[in-house]
Chain A
Amino acid sequence: MAKTKKPKLAVWKFASCDGCQLSLLDCEDELLEVADIVEIANFPEASREIKAGPYDISLVEGSITTPHDAERIHKIRRQSKILITIGACATAGGIQALRNFKDVREFINLVYANPKFISTLQHSTPISHHVYVDYELRGCPINKYQLLEVLNAFINHRKPNIPNTSVCIECKRKGIVCVMVAEGKVCLGPVTHAGCNALCPSYNRGCFGCYGPKESPNTSSLANQFEEMGAGNSEILRSFRNFNAYADAFRKESEAYEK
């Protein structure tokens, strides 16, 4: 039988901490197998050898924050059959999207460097605001096993098996006593997308929303609950304004507490 050609994989970086692409190198047990199945054609963090596109699968980390990057993402899209965003920066603008809420003048007061040397956009935006995205994998950082599942699914032309329920469901399945009901801790578990396996409640703290909003989250009901528990407006605002601050549902809820 003729040897079939390996799919070509590329990994791209925009404004980010490197953590999500590091997840691939953190697959210590699977990395060499992955390298057997796909051709790692463009992954500068791991190799100085760059093979030209087009690529079968592009993994994109990071958000768009500079005019140069806003152009670069289009070039990447054109070279990629499948484009998958990995992590909160690429799917929601990331922690650096906190700039999006600031009054420009307020920010300028914090500045003392030489502004003329730097070029940056006012907003940090997710990749999907610029180009079509085939699949968005959430998390700050992503779950490496979910990354392997998504790669496996696209290589085999099937739908990724990534649950889109809430952290709350994962928590119940693990049999953890609810940190909000039992201990009165602020917890975003009811509105946050699953994927971490209820990590924070397992360590006795409330969820702070690394995976962003789940499908149709009732954020205002949860915020009311926080109020009843005695949380002030600024605390509620901050709890929705983290690594996924610019994801629609969290953005709207935090803005509701700004007024």
Chain B
Amino acid sequence: MKSKTIKVDYLARVEGEGSLIVNIKGNRIKDLKFKIFEPPRFFEAFLVGRHFTEVPDITARICGICPIAYQMSSIHALEKIAELKIEGPIRELRRLIYCGEWIESHILHIYLLHAPDFLGYQDAIQIAKDYPGLVKKALELKKIGNEIVRLLGGREIHPINVRVGGFYSIPSKSEFLLLLERLKWARDAAIETVRWTSSLPFPDFDFDYEFVALRHQNEYPFNEGRLVSNKGLDIEISEYESNFFEEHVAYSNALHSVNKKGEPYFVGPLARFNLNFDKLSPIAKEISEEIGFLPPVTNPFKSIIARAVETLYAFDEAIRIIESLDWNTKPYIDFEMKEGVGYGCTEAPRGILYHRYKVGKDGLIEAAKIVPPTSQNQKQIEKDLYEFVQKYIDLPKDELQWKLEQAIRNYDPCISCATHFLKLDITRE
């Protein structure tokens, strides 16, 4: 009986350290593991005893690619405890900084991490040798996303300007107006990006997924909403932990999330797109319709198109916010912290990011729980890989391996994130 083993010791073009092992005997998969060996960092443990004002600066350090997501989920959870509801310009500016993060993260993934798979290159620098214009445009788009974060957050990675109650300070309107012309160029370039992603070759691979995302009555979701799915889920953020559970498996340093029935579910751009298409801005809807990209999309390889549509939306939304904002605002709202438990869930570039905190009477954190999007997708990724191998078991080994890597990258997994909430075990030095 013929057997083959696919072994990827260090998965490339993802954030963090993961590996893949597939063992095939004859026409059957004997073993398949998507393994995370990124070392655990125990954030939930050392958040205990810290002052609530330090939380957004600490949780940002979980991920260098999506620090804003960590800051947003943590401040929204903490503001729930303080019974603080942020409206008006500060709420809008939070959406703006999130637009910046979606743009830089999505463009990084579309062009630098995922496109090489579709085009058959090892990396984007090799693409640049044949198509310099394409990569230069991508880098310019990414730069503009980063500039939104830098202007409002102070720097691209681990921004310093976000606090519970608002911002430490708000840059002047003129600095944003300088960005406006470039944002308009970028919006046009993003339309081209959507069209271009839709022209890529996609393997035939569709499944009946449970997509989970936030849904807000008035807007495409960033910071607020109810948690909904295409299978009838419709809950408050505070009910997250009674609907989703985590399993700890032996071969991975990250926990796997499952739904109530113990099944995997799918979070991220494709889930958001499928559940919130009606809330996209007119231009994002129009271009999606033009390329025939309409919900429900059930091929995970097409996540790259959803990411491009969201990038277009984020540029459009950033322009709307900058043009309509009332800039005469105090940077933050004064408040008094209370004791209690608060829940926050926001849409990180890779999907829902859940935080829960318990604050004591001195403002110190007594308990913390963080569930990042990649650990929620991990079980689904494994299932996709399993199905893909079954369906394409006759592909030559090298081609199958590359396709499996591509299938993992459909989820833009951030392995650094997925590991960092893990609880501790100790071995002595």
The residues of A with any CB-CB pair to B shorter than 8 Å are 13-20, 22-23, 25-26, 28-29, 31-32, 35, 40, 44-50, 65-67, 69, 94-96, 98-99, 102, 104, 107-108, 110-123, 140-141, 196, 199-200, 202-205, 208, 210, 235, 238, 242-243
Say whether A19 contacts B65, CB under 8 Å: yes
Contacts of B297 in A (CB 8 A): none
Say whether B424 contacts A111, CB under 8 Å: yes
B10, B44, B146 pick with most chain A CB within 10 angstroms:
B10
Q: Is B350 located at the chain interface by the 8 A CB criterion?
A: no
B13, B46, B427 pick with most chain A CB within 10 angstroms:
B46
Top 4 A-B residue pairs of the complex, sorted by shortest distance between their CB atoms: A19-B64, A115-B425, A47-B123, A48-B12
Say whether B64 contacts A22, CB under 8 Å: yes
A–B pairs, 14, beta carbons within 8 Å: A13-B17, A16-B64, A18-B416, A20-B157, A25-B112, A26-B156, A32-B136, A46-B12, A47-B116, A49-B122, A99-B46, A114-B250, A118-B253, A122-B429
Q: In the complex the two chains form, what is the Cα distance from A104 to B72 in whole Å?
A: 32
Contacts of A118 in B (CB 8 A): 40, 253, 422, 424-425
**Which residues 40-62 of B sit at the A interface, judged by CB distance below 8 A?**
40-46, 48, 50-51, 54, 57-58, 61-62
User: With A26-B146, A104-B426, A114-B248 known to touch, is A18 a contact of B15 (CB < 8 Å)?
Assistant: yes
Contacts of A48 in B (CB 8 A): 12-13, 116, 122-123, 405
Say how far A44's CB is from chain B's closest CB, in angstroms.
4
A17, A29, A208 pick with most chain B CB within 10 angstroms:
A17
Q: In the complex the two chains form, what is the Cα distance from A31 to B127 in whole Å?
A: 13
Q: In the complex the two chains form, what is the Cα distance from A210 to B17 in whole Å?
A: 24
Which of A14, A112, A116 interacts with B39 by CB under 8 Å?
A14
Contacts of B154 in A (CB 8 A): 199-200, 202-203
Q: In the complex the two chains form, what is the Cα distance from A45 to B139 in whole Å?
A: 16
Q: Is B270 located at the chain interface by the 8 A CB criterion?
A: no
Say whether B139 contacts A113, CB under 8 Å: no
Q: In the complex the two chains form, what is the Cα distance from A113 to B425 in whole Å?
A: 8
The residues of B with any CB-CB pair to A shorter than 8 Å are 10-17, 38-46, 48, 50-51, 54, 57-58, 61-65, 67, 104, 108, 112-113, 116, 122-126, 128, 132, 135-136, 139-140, 142-143, 146, 154-158, 160-161, 163, 168-169, 248-253, 255, 331, 405, 414, 416, 420, 422-429
Contacts of B40 in A (CB 8 A): 65, 118, 120
Contacts of A210 in B (CB 8 A): 158
Say how far B371's CB is from chain A's closest CB, in angstroms.
14
Say how far A239's CB is from chain B's closest CB, in angstroms.
9
Say whether B250 contacts A117, CB under 8 Å: yes
Give the residue name and chain of the A residue nearest to B64 (CB).
A19
User: With A17-B63, A65-B41, A200-B154 known to touch, is A46 a contact of B424 (CB < 8 Å)?
Assistant: no
Q: In the complex the two chains form, what is the Cα distance from A120 to B37 in whole Å?
A: 11
Extra pairs beyond A102-B45, A117-B250 (16, CB < 8 Å): A13-B17, A22-B64, A26-B146, A45-B13, A45-B14, A47-B125, A48-B116, A50-B10, A65-B41, A67-B427, A104-B426, A110-B424, A113-B248, A113-B422, A113-B425, A205-B163
Give the residue name and chain of the A residue nearest to B62 (CB).
A17
Give the residue name and chain of the B residue nearest to A141 (CB).
B157
Q: In the complex the two chains form, what is the Cα distance from A65 to B419 in whole Å?
A: 13
Say how far A35's CB is from chain B's closest CB, in angstroms.
5
Q: In the complex the two chains form, what is the Cα distance from A31 to B112 in whole Å?
A: 12
Which of A15, A23, A113 interacts with B423 by CB under 8 Å?
A113
Which of B14, B64, B251, B425 interacts with A20 by CB under 8 Å?
B64
Say how far B73's CB is from chain A's closest CB, in angstroms.
16
Q: In the complex the two chains form, what is the Cα distance from A14 to B419 in whole Å?
A: 13
Give the residue name and chain of the A residue nearest to B405 (CB).
A48
Say whether A119 contacts B46, CB under 8 Å: no
Q: In the complex the two chains form, what is the Cα distance from A233 to B42 in whole Å?
A: 25
Give the residue name and chain of the A residue nearest to B420 (CB).
A17
Say how far A213's CB is from chain B's closest CB, in angstroms.
18
Q: In the complex the two chains form, what is the Cα distance from A58 to B160 in whole Å?
A: 29
Contacts of B104 in A (CB 8 A): 26
Q: In the complex the two chains form, what is the Cα distance from A40 to B88 in whole Å?
A: 47
Give the residue name and chain of the B residue nearest to A200 (CB).
B160
Say how far A256's CB is from chain B's closest CB, in angstroms.
18
Say how far B170's CB is from chain A's closest CB, in angstroms.
9
Q: In the complex the two chains form, what is the Cα distance from A160 to B249 in whole Å?
A: 46
Say whether A46 contacts B13, CB under 8 Å: yes
Say how far A232's CB is from chain B's closest CB, in angstroms.
10
Q: In the complex the two chains form, what is the Cα distance from A16 to B67 in whole Å?
A: 13
Say whether A35 contacts B125, CB under 8 Å: yes
Contacts of B38 in A (CB 8 A): 15
User: With A26-B157, A199-B154 known to touch, is A95 a contact of B425 (CB < 8 Å)?
Assistant: no
Q: In the complex the two chains form, what is the Cα distance from A238 to B136 in whole Å?
A: 43
Which of A15, A25, A117, A202 interacts with B108 by CB under 8 Å?
A25
Say whether A28 contacts B45, CB under 8 Å: no
Say whether A111 contacts B423, CB under 8 Å: yes
Q: In the complex the two chains form, what is the Cα distance from A123 to B82 in whole Å?
A: 35
Which of A69, A107, A115, A205 interacts with B168 by CB under 8 Å?
A205
User: With A22-B65, A28-B142 known to touch, is A121 a contact of B427 (CB < 8 Å)?
Assistant: yes
Contacts of B58 in A (CB 8 A): 95, 242
Q: In the complex the two chains form, what is the Cα distance from A107 to B48 in whole Å?
A: 10
Say how far A183's CB is from chain B's closest CB, in angstroms.
12
Q: In the complex the two chains form, what is the Cα distance from A207 to B64 in whole Å?
A: 20
Say whether B428 contacts A122, CB under 8 Å: yes
Contacts of B43 in A (CB 8 A): 95
Say whether A141 contacts B41, CB under 8 Å: no
Say whether A32 contacts B125, CB under 8 Å: yes
Q: In the complex the two chains form, what is the Cα distance from A45 to B109 in whole Å?
A: 11
Which of B12, B135, B157, B428 interacts with A32 by CB under 8 Å?
B135
User: With A111-B424, A208-B57 known to touch, is A99 a contact of B429 (CB < 8 Å)?
Assistant: no
Q: In the complex the two chains form, what is the Cα distance from A82 to B125 in whole Å?
A: 24
